Amino acid sequence: MNYGYLRVAAATHAVKVADVSHNTAEILKMMTEAAKEGVSLLVFPELAVTGYTCNDLFLQNELLDRARAAIDDILAASADLETLVVVGFPFSHRSKLYNCAAVICKGRLLGIVTKRYIPNYAEFYEARYFTPGTGDVVFIDWNGEQKSVPFGGNILFRSETNARFVLGVEICEDVWMPHTPSTEHALAGATVIANASASDEVIGKAEYRRQLILGKSATSVCAYVYCNAGVGESTQDLVFAGHNIIGENGAAVVESGRFANGRITGDVDLEKIESERRKMTTFRTNFKNDHVVVPFVVKERKIDINRRIDPRPFVPAGEAERNRRCEEILNIQSFGLRKRLAHTNCKHAILGISGGLDSTLALLVTRKAFALAELPAENIIAVTMPAFGTTDRTYNNALKLIRGIGATCREINIKEAIMKHFSDIGHDPGLHDVTYENSQARERTQILMDLANAHNGLVIGTGDMSELALGWATYNGDHMSMYGVNCSVPKTLVRHLVRYYADTCGDTGLAAVLTDVLETPVSPELLPPEDGKISQKTEDLIGPYELHDFFLYQMLRFGFAPRKVLFLAESAFAGRYERETILHWLETFYRRFFAQQYKRSCLPDGPKVGSVALSPRGDLRMASDSSARIWLDDLDNCW
């Protein structure tokens, strides 16, 4: 099972201008090599069989005849290969010459796609030789045996063995235009676009080209295989560098270097493409279109997916990008809170501060929001509420943090109130069960709500998205607030936000406190400590947050089935977690996610910061009594 992945490649061969025999031999060699590696789609450059820089030689019958014969040679060589091949060549039809791409599969010429936009400006003079193609399609007799070969622009190639694999083709300049053929192809159902190109190098063009191709793959929600002409083309006036790109919905799967020929191979996720299109109601499929659809058969071979799966999908790689993203998220959180403060005319905010990660981030965000609103920091009422599980470490960090921020500190020990509550409901305080734990959480929330009333302020929620996904919050306890600033920030990202603040705040004392908070084990601190240290560690009870955040992203962002989430997790966390461990916590994730939806159905307001969020008013409309059965059944088959 390939889990929706398709292996594609872009191959720039060592071309010799006008030497068709040499070029064909190079193409055949690369075809054979790619087929052995399980490549299902192989794309060659524009005018690959002749070379792009033939200039007026394109008007010579001998060159055109040899180019047509080269296609026959490629057809013959492809007969036993399970690979769809796209190769550029010049083709004369009804006394006009066209810049074309032949689409070939297992000895059959599936179609000939024409280039629509013929550049004739700056260094390009294609209109001297070539006639622009159109979207129209006619059927031609290729060689007496293949008598109905589609020729034109609006042609799609659909796999009969993989329903997700539908190919559209455009040629070089086509993608640089405002309305591209690939847009039409994608709306007609193409999930993969191939571009046979000959784009020369000038200063700055490579980056622009990269942005163009990846942007096109994003707006068309497709996989895009771009193959460029390379070393060997004439350098009389231009230099070609073989800059090849495989993109997928805005991201680069693999990209070649420049000034060297060769092949890049990547595995694109067509299931992800399908999921994105299904979710985007604005992606309007054109059911009434004039595309000719040509079926083909390529056996789907099992491949070892050669693609890095990011174990931290919510956290950008690279310090510079991570810092930029952290600043952006902090701004979204703080500007969201500033608006809520202004709308309610509240001049105070009330937070419970535990000395843990989430409440620390919430306090930092609140301080930033107050600065934006030009409100004094002392109007932030930060409340520490020690109880049975509070340790000296978290208690002291809470106090230092409040002082470092400049907020007003309130300390309210809730032990006596909880003991009275236990007496009222007849609960044995020696029984450390869920009642023992949740009574503390609800008492703290009651205090915060009442303080908000007393000060005409807002209770700021501290819980993060990972806790909401797992239901790791006390209903009507820490589950409730008046505005939840962390509601769409996953736990794996919370750490980086706090770290970023510590690195950039310019206060060594505050930075030291934040560093110690980062090093403190995640815990609700609702059970008595052991030897003065935290005894209740969250990740020991519900599993590693890095796994749960990974599961959440793959499930909600792309709608992947549990078996695919498991497959991706095994790849992402190879060498860190065994399959059985991942599977155990994945089952925990699905059980808790479905069972705890009722808590998410009544969440307080809070800002969305990323592509995955759990707000019942926005991203996740889900019945509280939805069954997890089919998802758990899928996992049962994975043991």
Instruction: Compute the C-alpha angle 391/393/394, nearest 5°.
Output: 75
- Token code pair at residue 358: 């989430």
What 3-state DSSP class applies to 75? helix
What 3-state DSSP class applies to 269? strand
Look at residues 581, 572, 622 and name the one whose alpha carbon lies nearest to residue 602. 622
Q: Which pairing describes strands 262-269 and 5-12: parallel, antiparallel, or unpaired?
A: antiparallel
**For this structure, is 172 an active site residue?**
yes
Active-site residue, from 26, 100, 106, 115: 115
**For this structure, is 115 an active site residue?**
yes
> What span, in angstroms and rounded, lies between the C-alpha atoms of 197 and 192?
16
φ and ψ of 492, to 5 deg: -65, -25
**CA 386 vs CA 93, 383, 392, 394, 515: distances in Å:** 85, 10, 10, 10, 22
Q: 568-592 as b/e, with b when 16 or more CB fall inside 10 Å?
A: bbeebbeeebeeeebbbbbbbbbbb
Q: For the chain, how many residues are written?
A: 639
Longest alpha-carbon distance in the chain: 101
Q: At 474, which amino acid appears? A: T
> What span, in angstroms and rounded, lies between the C-alpha atoms of 226 and 216?
11
Q: At 448, which amino acid appears? A: L
Active-site residue, from 46, 170, 276, 467: 46
What 3-state DSSP class applies to 284? coil
Active-site residue, from 54, 100, 105, 172: 172
- Token code pair at residue 89: 């060549």
What is the DSSP code (8-state) at residue 310? P
**For this structure, is 279 an active site residue?**
no
**CA 403 vs CA 12, 332, 383, 509, 510: distances in Å:** 63, 25, 12, 10, 9
What 3-state DSSP class applies to 341? helix
For the beta carbon of residue 8, count every other beta carbon within 10 angstroms.
29
Scanning 559-628, the segments in alpha helix (DSSP H) are: 562-572, 579-595, 597-600
Q: Is the dihedral of CA 165, 171, 174, 176 positive or negative?
A: positive
Instruction: Compute the C-alpha angle 356/360/366, nearest 5°.
Output: 155
- Token code pair at residue 172: 């070089």
CB-based contact 623:595 (threshold 8 Å):
no
The catalytic residues are 46, 115, 172
